[in-house]
Amino acid sequence: MFEGDFKLVHHLAPPLFAKRNDKGELVKRPFGGWMRSAFGVLAKLKGLRGTAFDVFGRTEERRTERALIDTPRTTIIACVLQGNAAYWAHCGDSRLYMVRGEKLIARTRDHSYTELQETLSHVVPMGEKFNRNVLFTCLGSPGKPVVDTAGPLRMMPGDRVLLCSDGLWGALSDAAICEQMARQPLSDAMPELVEMALRSAGPKSDNVTVLAVEWEAAEDLDSVAGISTNQLGDDVFASTIQASLGTDASSDELDDAEIERSIREINEAIQRSSNKRR
């Protein structure tokens, strides 16, 4: 509870009433405490959502929601082990777990409303929880994807890294996943983890995909025949595909020529690196 004199102000941009700035974005304006009563009325009208009587049905947000229904979408988690460090990037709710000994030292945070709500709950009281499957970003949606990156994180001998789909962590707790990763060889731990998730979820099980690796000491790498992790070098290859932040519709899609150019650059960099080692 707050004590003393204070004034509650809500800064909102109602789609039907808010003005737009030069970029076409809705501009927020202050509303007094009476808006809490309006929120209560809107909550009671939730049943009209998606019907012909939905007053917000023609807003840009609702049009985007309807477009998402038929748009193929996916999530991604990618990790690069380069030198003695790990780097990773993810979009959506596919996860990375890193275990050192029996301790979880890193885990990605899902781009989901339930994860966001869980984080905010430590700061402010939260109401009804969202379904864990509701994501606020992913690959393939009309909006620009949000990609979180991390690293470099120095790797230690024995560190274990797991990449997985939500079918695994949705059925098992983080503690159960980390315990299984730590207590036996990965070749035994991974099949057992998958079986545990399938048994736990039962007929409603989602796709369960896992990929794991254990980091060895640098001095042990020479004994692994046929495997090379030589660095290409900063001057060998550089390519960037970056989503624009503007509203120009013509820049929303990556054309075939740009994709082919990036693939060609990668192949040329690999070929140059191979020629240098001969």
Q: Say whether pLDDT at 272 is over 80.
A: no
Lowest mean pLDDT among 119-133, 144-158, 169-183, 204-218: 119-133
Q: What is the pLDDT of residue 251?
A: 45
Which amino acid is located at 50 in the chain? G
Rounded-to-integer distance, Cα 212 and Cα 186, Å: 7
Which residue ranges form the domains of the chain, and what is each CATH number?
10-69 (no CATH), 76-232 (3.60.40.10)
Q: Say whether pLDDT at 129 is over 70.
A: no
> How much is the pTM?
0.55
In which residue are the tokens 């079986």 written?
195
Q: How confident is the model at residue 247 (pLDDT cuts 50, 70, 90)?
A: very low
Q: What is the pLDDT of residue 254?
A: 54
Taking each helix axis from N to C terminus, what angle separates 186-201 and 174-183, rounded to the nearest 10 degrees? 150
CA 105 → CA 96, 102, 108, 162, distances in Å?
Answer: 11, 9, 11, 12
The pLDDT tens digits of the residues spanning 50-93 come to 676 776 776 777 777 766 665 668 899 999 998 889 999 999 99
The pLDDT tens digits of the residues spanning 16-35 come to 677 888 887 878 888 887 77
Q: What is the pLDDT of residue 68?
A: 62
Q: How confident is the model at residue 122 (pLDDT cuts 50, 70, 90)?
A: low
Q: What is the pLDDT of residue 224?
A: 47
Lowest mean pLDDT among 202-206, 218-222, 225-229, 239-243: 239-243
Rounded-to-integer distance, Cα 43 and Cα 88, Å: 40
The pLDDT tens digits of the residues spanning 213-222 come to 999 865 544 4
**Average pLDDT of the residues of the chain:** 76
Question: Whose CA is closest to 184, among 108, 105, 99, 106?
Answer: 99
Average pLDDT of the segment spanning 87-116: 90
215 compared with 39, residue with greater pLDDT: 215
In which residue are the tokens 């409303």 written?
113
Q: What is the pLDDT of residue 96?
A: 96
267 compared with 201, residue with greater pLDDT: 201
Q: How confident is the model at residue 130 (pLDDT cuts 50, 70, 90)?
A: low
Q: What is the pLDDT of residue 214?
A: 93
The pLDDT tens digits of the residues spanning 156-195 come to 999 999 999 999 998 999 999 999 999 889 999 999 999 9
Q: What is the pLDDT of residue 175?
A: 94
Q: What is the pLDDT of residue 207?
A: 86
Q: What is the pLDDT of residue 79?
A: 95
